[in-house]
Amino acid sequence: MPYDFTFDLTPAAVRGLLSLLGKEPVKRVAASLIPLGLSLSSAMRLIADLAEIEALNAYWRDEFKRSKKRALFLPHCSRRAGCRAELDPKTPSYVCVGCGAECIVMKAADMASKRGYDVYIVPGGSCIPKIIREGGYDGAVGVACPSELILAAKALMSLKIPGQAVPLLKNGCANTTFSLEDLSSIL
């Protein structure tokens, strides 16, 4: 059996929903990304990852809203050039020193702090489970590449912590960016 789970897609309502998500619309969206420099297979993978993130956000949203102690995890790769944040090796997380109003990380950190979040600017996803356990968080929001968000979601599920995710709009491990509006709506 190719899957490690069983499913039944025979109800008409399910087939109707699947027709909305059929191969042709996905291929059309993916094809529209090719002029941006993505191959069709890369575009298809990105779209699948973004769809999975949206589904996970919807699945966890109500439980996330009930969480009381929340953390926001921001990617260090979105820091602006010349950022003076210092890495705290105990956490590990960068500490924002507020060096520039045009810095998206500073804006996001400020927005989240005002809403009661603890903010971590992390060098990678592997440190997140440790931070969550040690901080006693019962809710988390992450901003990262879609593939990293999916890995983080699996880690959060194993910890039984509801999470929400905001995918990067531009990746590349440096000078990345994300939507402050999307983040605000999730916080």
Q: How high is the pLDDT of residue 9?
A: 45
Residues 6+ apart with CB under 8 A from 159: 129, 132, 133
Q: What is the pLDDT of residues 8-35, one digit of tens each?
A: 444 555 445 445 555 566 666 777 767 7
Interval 58-105: pLDDT, tens: 999 999 999 999 999 998 888 777 777 778 888 888 887 777 768 888
* Whether pTM exceeds 0.85: no
What are the domain boundaries of the chain? 12-186
Q: What element of type H or E holds 99? A: none
Q: Distance (Å, rounded) from C-alpha 33 to C-alpha 24?
A: 14
Q: Which helix (H) or strand (E) covers residue 163, if one does?
A: strand 163-167
